[in-house]
């Protein structure tokens, strides 16, 4: 059902694109599918799996250490004073908490590593798509995997940002554009007054 919905979405986008831009040429490609076919992707996956394996070994080591200390405590607690029992319990709890935090950090690190490894691959693929679009004089490209646009020919499209900004009360600060290379959006003063309660 999910695949059917995706296909229907892509078909609808392609139909709309054809209806509203009959004079233009469009291309389509499965971006993520193509990404996974790139030689660099396999290399990135191997690096990621190696790191994941190292992390898994450390997690297992920490787990074994916790189990060892827990078994020792269970065997000795009847011979220990209440204060030492309480101390050992706190130590075990701390060790268990640290292990849980480490597992969470590992997951976060692996996700970050995957994103970083894919950045240059995605850039290379986008550049290749732009090159093909220029060579084949395509006006836009649809990603069949997600139903989104990967490329739009700026000479064939109209940037409606300014008109929309005006309608929704957003201003561009001209002096900031040259400094930062991208528009800086400001909400109009009247909207600030609404937020702060001023009249």
Same domain membership, residue 134 and residue 51: yes
pTM value is: 0.56
Same domain membership, residue 129 and residue 83: yes
Same domain membership, residue 115 and residue 166: no
Residues 128/136, Cβ–Cβ less than 8 Å: no
Same domain membership, residue 96 and residue 25: yes
Considering its fold, how many domains does the chain have in total?
A: 2
The Cα-based distances of 193 to 170, 182, 184, 189, 190 in angstroms read: 14, 26, 20, 6, 5
Same domain membership, residue 147 and residue 112: yes
Same domain membership, residue 116 and residue 141: yes
pLDDT for 161: 65
Same domain membership, residue 96 and residue 48: yes
Same domain membership, residue 89 and residue 21: yes
Same domain membership, residue 172 and residue 125: no
Same domain membership, residue 113 and residue 177: no
pLDDT for 190: 43
Same domain membership, residue 50 and residue 11: yes
Q: Provide the mean pLDDT of the chain.
A: 77
pLDDT for 60: 93
Same domain membership, residue 122 and residue 179: no
* pLDDT string in tens for the chain (199-residue length): 665 555 555 555 555 555 444 556 788 888 888 888 888 888 999 989 999 999 999 999 999 999 999 999 999 988 999 999 999 999 999 999 999 999 999 999 999 999 999 999 999 988 898 888 888 888 888 888 887 787 777 777 666 667 666 766 767 655 444 444 444 444 444 444 444 444 4
Residues 99/67, Cβ–Cβ less than 8 Å: no
Domain containing residue 100: 2-152
């Amino acid at each position: 059902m999910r695949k059917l919905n995706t296909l229907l979405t892509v078909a609808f986008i392609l139909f709309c694109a054809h209806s509203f831009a009959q004079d233009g040429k469009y291309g389509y490609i499965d971006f993520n599918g193509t990404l996974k076919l790139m030689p660099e992707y396999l290399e990135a996956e191997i690096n990621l799996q190696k790191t994941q394996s190292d992390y898994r070994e450390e997690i297992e080591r920490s787990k074994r250490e916790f189990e060892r200390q827990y078994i020792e405590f269970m065997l000795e607690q009847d011979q220990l004073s209440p204060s030492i029992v309480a101390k050992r319990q706190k130590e075990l709890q701390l060790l268990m908490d640290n292990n849980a935090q480490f597992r969470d950090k590992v997951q976060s690190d692996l996700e970050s590593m995957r994103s970083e490894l894919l950045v240059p691959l995605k850039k290379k693929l986008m550049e290749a798509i732009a090159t093909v679009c220029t060579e084949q004089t395509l006006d836009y490209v649809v990603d069949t995997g997600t139903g989104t646009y990967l490329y739009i020919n700026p000479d064939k499209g109209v940037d409606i940002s300014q008109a929309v900004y005006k309608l929704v009360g957003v201003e561009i600060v001209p002096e900031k554009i040259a400094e930062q290379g991208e528009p800086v959006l400001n909400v109009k003063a009247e909207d600030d007054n609404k937020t702060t309660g001023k009249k």
